[in-house]
């Protein structure tokens, strides 16, 4: 009935509003924590007579906190930009193998530590869309694979086709994700448990960005994981965005 429809709409509006309020509260909290730590170190450096070496150590810690805030703000900007962009992502072909190789170097550059990352993506295999957005999405998946996999672990990037659509997967043999968390991973600021792994410096925004980018490309993300065994993130592109690999020329 009509009444039903109206009350449904109201509930939806209320829910959106509550989500927005939650989001603002979350952003404030996520920024306040490093800011408080930063202010604490700043006061120490200003108030205490420190040896040069000690002072350098504090400055290093302050640097870490400010980088963390910078990281959060830049992820928020990416998310805001994607959400506010009314244009469809377009249909320029994006060479996924080339993109992935570039992103791998960036992901591995996160630390001096090394992981074995193997690729089975043919050069020339493309999907259509916005290259910058796709780089954010794939970059987040690769960075997570590196972050949540102990050094020496293996990360595989694969592709195949399903019903005419290109499918890509990023899998790792890292710490995995308890099954009850999987449905919530793409929520903003959702993180499984900060203490279970080395401090990864994550923001909890990465998979929210992935989800938005893929939605705009009519693509779908599926997540499979097992604790202590590893995780696989699979992206399904629709056929109209999938361009078959051309003959490899390099
Ligand atoms: P973060 O910045 O914390 O990595 P994300 O949104 O990218 O935020 O991921 C959300 C949470 O999902 C992470 O905090 C982590 O607990 C979990 N996660 C994501 N990718 C992986 C992975 N490859 N292996 C294990 N856990 C993962």
What residues contact residue 113 under an 8 Å CB cut-off, 6+ apart?
151
Q: What are the strands, taking DSSP E only, across 129-191?
A: 154-162, 165-172
Q: What Cα–Cα distance (Å) separates residue 102 from each residue in 13, 91, 106, 107?
A: 42, 21, 7, 9
157, pLDDT greater than 70: yes
User: Does any ligand 1 atom lie closer than 6 A to the CB of residue 139?
Assistant: no
| Residue 205: partners with Cβ closer than 8 Å, 6 or more residues away | 72, 75, 76, 79, 188, 189
For range 219-237, the mean pLDDT: 97
Q: Give this complex's ipTM.
A: 0.98
Going from the Cα of 180 to the center of ligand 1, the distance in angstroms, rounded, reads 14
Mean local confidence (pLDDT), 152-171: 92
Ligand 1 mutation target, pool 202, 229, 231, most atoms within 8 A of CB? 202
- In the predicted model, what is the mean pLDDT of residues 153-182? 93
Q: Which of 59, 68, 25 is nearest to 199 (CA)?
A: 68
- pLDDT of res. 181: 94
Query: Among candidates 148, 192, 193, 201, which has minimal Cα distance to 170?
Result: 148
Ligand 1: does its nearest atom lie under 6 Å from the Cβ of 204? Answer: yes
For residue 15, count CB atoms less than 10 angstroms from its CB and return exposed for 0-12, middle for 13-18, buried for 19 or more.
exposed
Q: In the chain, what percentage of residues exceed pLDDT 70?
A: 90
pTM of the model: 0.81
* Ligand 1 atom nearest to CA at 181: 12
What CA–CA distance (Å, rounded) separates 77 from 187? 16
For residue 204, give both structure tokens: 């909890």
pLDDT tens digit sequence for 99-132: 998 888 888 776 556 777 787 887 778 999 999 9
Instruction: Give 137's pLDDT tier (boundaries 50, 70, 90).
Output: very high
Quick check: 249 pLDDT over 60?
no
Residue 47 phi, psi (nearest 5): -90, -30
Q: 43 alpha carbon to ligand 1 midpoint, in Å?
A: 33
Residue 105 or residue 31, greater confidence = 31
Ligand 1 and 148: CB distance under 6 A = yes
Closest ligand 1 atom to the C-alpha of 145?
A: 23
Going from the Cα of 12 to the center of ligand 1, the distance in angstroms, rounded, reads 28
Residue 162 structure tokens: 């399903």
Could you tell me how many residues make up the chain?
A: 250
Q: How far is the CA of 223 from the centre of ligand 1 (A)?
A: 11
Mean pLDDT, all residues of the chain: 86
Q: At what angle do helices 206-216 and 52-84 cross, to 10 degrees?
A: 20
CB 205 within 8 A of CB 79: yes
Cβ atoms 98, 47 nearer than 8 A: no
pLDDT of residue 210: 96
CA distances from 26 to 125, 201, 202 (A): 39, 17, 15
């Amino acid at each position: 009935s009509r009444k039903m429809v109206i009350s449904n709409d109201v509930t939806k509006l209320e829910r959106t509003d509550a989500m927005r309020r939650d989001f603002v509260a979350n952003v404030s909290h996520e920024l306040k924590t490093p800011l408080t730590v930063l202010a604490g170190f700043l006061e120490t450096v200003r108030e205490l007579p420190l040896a040069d070496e000690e002072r350098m150590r504090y400055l290093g810690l302050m640097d870490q906190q400010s980088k963390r805030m910078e990281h959060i703000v830049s992820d928020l900007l990416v998310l805001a930009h994607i959400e506010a962009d009314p244009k469809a992502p377009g249909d320029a072909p994006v060479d996924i193998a080339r993109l992935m190789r570039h992103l791998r170097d960036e992901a591995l550059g996160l630390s001096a530590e090394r992981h074995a990352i193997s690729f089975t993506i043919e050069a020339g295999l493309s999907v259509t869309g916005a290259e910058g957005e796709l780089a954010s999405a794939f970059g987040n998946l690769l960075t997570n694979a590196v972050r949540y996999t102990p050094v020496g672990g293996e990360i595989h990037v694969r592709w195949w086709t399903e019903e005419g659509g290109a499918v890509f997967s990023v899998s790792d043999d890292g710490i995995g994700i308890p099954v009850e968390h999987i449905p919530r991973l793409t929520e903003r600021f959702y993180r499984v448990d900060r203490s279970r792994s080395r401090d990864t410096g994550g923001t909890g925004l990465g998979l929210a960005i992935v989800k938005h980018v893929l939605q705009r490309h009519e693509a779908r993300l599926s997540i499979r994981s097992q604790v202590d065994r590893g995780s696989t993130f699979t992206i399904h592109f629709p056929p109209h965005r999938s361009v078959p690999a051309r003959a490899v020329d390099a």
